[in-house]
Amino acid sequence: MSKLNGKVAVITGGSSGIGLAAAKRMVDEGAYVFITGRRQAELDKAKAAIGRNVTTVQGDVANLDDLDRLFAQVRAEKGVVDIVVASAGFVEHHTIETATPEHFDKTFGINARGVFFTVQKALPLMTRGGSIVLVSSGLHLKGFPAHGTYSATKAALRSFARTWAMELKDRGIRVNTLSPGAIDTPIIDGQFKTKEEADNARTAFSQITPIGRIGRPEEMASAILFLASDDSSYSTGIDLVADGGLTQV
């Protein structure tokens, strides 16, 4: 029996990387998914890749009007949400000396504010309990140079999960975070100017990861499925670290 039969999931950042892998896996397990992302062309590709039981809604999680449109669409089509996966994210390298207010505001706007209001606006539709998965990062446990704002936003998600796990427990809603390590997704390419630089970063990440390689989006999808399904029915407020040992040993 599939693990998510009859469930309705909303996945932000669902047009690529971890979000797309999670959407594919959830549909395979019987869910209907709504995915959102900023680029319509990428959403169209994702819809074709998923193939069935999916609705795409273009939008930016940092824009509250776009979030309202997303959940209005969910309400119109399904009327309920069982699973929220907050996977949309943004990273840009800046040290404390080079960071600008614009960089700070964009990073926190997408990674922290966007997650906060995604969950807030989903709650009225979570009428039969459910699961919320916040995609954090193993970097909230480390001090990587030039990642100060990014890591801080991911630490904020860890804090949100603890608080919301308590605030929402009486509604039967579990809230957990997933903290990936280096995962082979387009977000790596977006951090560098050339493919050669991005590939060198992949090699460097592999060398500092105890398991000896970077992770695959499908591995993160399996972790998200665990947190979203009844397999983790006794887990709330936890941080599931899936980073090849990078922050753990």
Active site residues: 150
DSSP 118-186: HHHHHGGG-BTBEEEEEE--GGGGS--TTBHHHHHHHHHHHHHHHHHHHHSGGGTEEEEEEEE-SB-SH
Contact 61, 108 (CB under 8 A): no
Give which of 62, 54, 63 is closest to 11, Cα–Cα. 54
Strand 83-86 relative to strand 54-58, pairing: unpaired
DSSP element (H, E) containing 113:
none
Using DSSP, state whether 223 is helix, strand or coil. Answer: helix
Q: How many residues does the chain have?
A: 249
